[in-house]
Amino acid sequence: MKRLLILVLAGVALAVALAHLPGCTAMKSGGVTGDAAQKVYVKPGEHDTYYAFLSGGHSGQIYVYGMPSCRHITTIPVFTPEPAVGYGNDVESKAMLGGLTWGDAHHPGLSETAGDYDGRWLFINDMPNARIARIDLSDFKTHQIFGPIPNLSAAHACPFPTPNTEYVFAASRFSVPVPNRQVKIEEYAKDFRGIIAGVKVDPKDGTMSLGFEILMPPFDYDLADAGKGPSEGWEFFTCYNSEMAYDSLEIKASQNEMDYFAAVDWKAAQKAVDDGKATMINGAPVLDPAKVKGIVYLTAVPKSPHGVDVDPSGQYICCSGKLQAEVSVYSFAKLQAAIQGGKFDGDKMGVPTLKYEDVLEAKVPVGLGPLHTQFDGKGYAYTSLFLDSQIAKWKIGPPWNVVDKIDVYYSIGHLMASEGDTRHPTGDYLVALDKLSKDRYLNVGPTHPEGAQLIDLRGPKMQLLYDFPTYLEPHYAQMIKAEKLKPFTVYPLEKNQKPGAVLSADDIRIERKGNRVDVYGIVVRTHFAPDIVKVNQGDEVYFHWTNLEQDDDIAHGFGICWSSKNMQIEPGETKTITWTAEKVGINPFYCSNFCSALHQEMQGYIEVRPKGSPLSAVQRPDANLVAQVAAEMKR
């Protein structure tokens, strides 16, 4: 039955694709009308009103755009080294990456206070390595990478913060044996398990730590959203593959009419761990719902659901069955009533199951291939339709009808509304994150950019404003009012506590111990001090550079010739990078980041002597240079 549906849907997709072949003029203009250009025009020198954070998918990064201009402002390196700034190259960020140089980042999650974005942190998942990163929005830098989370394979339903950022979550997209060991894959249902993990966030500084894990049936957990308002304290997760197939999933995992969404009472789960009801597996406190009751429930959802999205009021849970032309809207009140009334129709490995009709509030006939839903705060929801390449706008509440549709180009995945995951979406803009851009941009060969489109939500009908390409490959994104963020632009030198920082000219020195050499130096317009470094072949050299600048936008670089070593040092910052003196001879280094009229003069030399050459344990720069730096420090 489902197989047939897939074929039908595939046929529809083909028809849609054919209707959109190049040459059709309606497609070329993409339905853009009259005043669209004015609405995206941000005058030179003026700023956008929103920051948009787009996940970088398998680039492992986060892209920052300004809205409504759709200008790419910067990229924040997160899970992947970034040579221009030295991310993953300096000692500290290299350690944070933990030896991994790749991530697949799907879902940015802005921190919230009372259900609204508060502008403190941005979390994002690395699915394949089951990690979560925290970016501090005071400096737009990655400050923590938590994980790999034990026992959990592929954190896709992740991180989706709670309304006061007590937790971020992760759930396994691919089940594996827990604890992982060699088993027969054919014994999947017996040995494999899913995991839902609650990761605690320290309210003071955002530091993540593991709160609890829940052992789940080996389904594929797909997406999540936090309850809010009346549903605060709960987190919801969709899953597909309740068939528990382990091969040919496209057919075998599409057999059942119903899959599930899981509802986790995270306060109850944490309490159960605190009460000692967990078993430690690989260092993680794991709760087994067969033994610990009242922490998780499953409710039937038609046809391989993807997105789960809680409306701003917190009353409704909207699930999109991708092989169905409807969004299933569930009532949190009904869910509670069914749980309280014990209306279970069985269980799956100890997790009580609830009936579809007992929890369902409405079915909204949105169109083909529904994936994700967003909200405008004015009583409407917007669902992306992958197969129809459309967005459907529908009314939350009776008669639960579709009131508008708009074409997008093409094959939309996620969509994001301005402050759309909060209790108070602003209802200004929507961005369609299209999976295929095909013919929308200049041809650059077989790998096309991804397509994103800005849509105005302020009128009664959705209005397409602008197309912009993105690099591989945004999944989800979030948009926050620009006025909520006030990132600082220089690190105050007086607060610099980094080991290796040089805050006085007298501290500039080169120290040797065995074959380790530590260079404690400063960078400032327009020189390095020291700019002559003498080492022996085989020495392991640690360069600790402190940037004395306290002016905006004066970063210096440190690049070493004949090496892969480069990093940027921002105003007031201290960073360390290591380099091994492999060859006897002279090795130049230079400032790689344009900093002033004399940037080109900002350079130095490393003299590499033969192994065992006599060198003093401490080298200091000459007195003139020290005096010059001392004067610079007073400025």
- Give the residues lining the site for ligand CUA (CB under 6 A): 526, 556, 591, 593-595, 599, 602
| CA atoms of 572 and 155, how far apart (whole Å) | 36
Residue 602 interacts, among ligand CUA, ligand K7E, none and using kind-specific CB cut-offs from 5 to 8 Å, with: ligand CUA
Q: How many residues bind ligand K7E (CB under 6 A)?
A: 11
Is 440 near ligand K7E (CB under 6 A)?
no
Residue 579 interacts, among ligand K7E, ligand CUA, none and using kind-specific CB cut-offs from 5 to 8 Å, with: none
Run of H or E including 212 = strand 208-216
Number of CB atoms found within 10 A of residue 328's CB: 26
Four-residue CA torsion sign, 525, 526, 530, 533:
positive
Reduced to 3 states (helix: H, G, I; strand: E, B; else coil), residue 66 is: strand
363-392 mask for ligand K7E (x: CB under 6 A)?
A: --------xx--------------------
Residue 562 interacts, among ligand K7E, ligand CUA, none and using kind-specific CB cut-offs from 5 to 8 Å, with: none
| CA atoms of 46 and 210, how far apart (whole Å) | 43
Identity of the residue numbered 501: A
Nearer to ligand CUA, 282 or 563 (CB): 563
Residue 556 interacts, among ligand CUA, ligand K7E, none and using kind-specific CB cut-offs from 5 to 8 Å, with: ligand CUA
Residue 594 interacts, among ligand CUA, ligand K7E, none and using kind-specific CB cut-offs from 5 to 8 Å, with: ligand CUA
Among residues 20, 94, 106, 334, which is the contact residue for ligand K7E, using CB under 6 A? 106
| CA atoms of 151 and 170, how far apart (whole Å) | 11
Task: Please report, as residue ranges, which positions from 155 to 184 form the binding site for ligand K7E (by CB under 6 A).
Answer: 156
Among residues 413, 425, 500, 557, which is the contact residue for ligand K7E, using CB under 6 A? 413
Is 306 near ligand K7E (CB under 6 A)?
yes
E strand segments, 270-354: 279-281, 284-287, 296-302, 305-310, 316-321, 327-331, 344-348, 351-354
Q: Cis (ω within 30 of 0) for the bond into 159?
A: yes
- Least distance in Å: CB of 156 to ligand K7E? 6
Nearer to ligand K7E, 20 or 306 (CB): 306
Reduced to 3 states (helix: H, G, I; strand: E, B; else coil), residue 324 is: coil
**DSSP string covering 376-392, please?**
-SSSEEEEEETTTTEEE
Nearer to ligand CUA, 108 or 572 (CB): 572
The β-bridge relationship of strands 412-417 and 402-407 is: unpaired
Q: Which residues face 414 on adjacent strands?
A: none
Is 475 near ligand K7E (CB under 6 A)?
yes
Four-residue CA torsion sign, 452, 456, 457, 463:
negative
Residue 475 interacts, among ligand K7E, ligand CUA, none and using kind-specific CB cut-offs from 5 to 8 Å, with: ligand K7E
Residue 599 interacts, among ligand CUA, ligand K7E, none and using kind-specific CB cut-offs from 5 to 8 Å, with: ligand CUA
Is 476 near ligand K7E (CB under 6 A)?
yes
Residue 595 interacts, among ligand CUA, ligand K7E, none and using kind-specific CB cut-offs from 5 to 8 Å, with: ligand CUA
Nearer to ligand K7E, 57 or 559 (CB): 57
- Least distance in Å: CB of 373 to ligand K7E? 11
Nearer to ligand CUA, 526 or 578 (CB): 526
| CA atoms of 502 and 508, how far apart (whole Å) | 7
| CA atoms of 630 and 395, how far apart (whole Å) | 67
> Which class for 565: exposed (0-12), middle (13-18), buried (19 or more C-beta within 10 A)?
buried
Is 132 near ligand K7E (CB under 6 A)?
no
Radius of gyration of the chain (CA): 27
Is 334 near ligand K7E (CB under 6 A)?
no
Q: Which residues face 402 on adjacent strands?
A: 394
Applying CB under 6 A, the residues found at the interface with ligand K7E are: 106-107, 156, 223, 306, 371-372, 413-414, 475-476
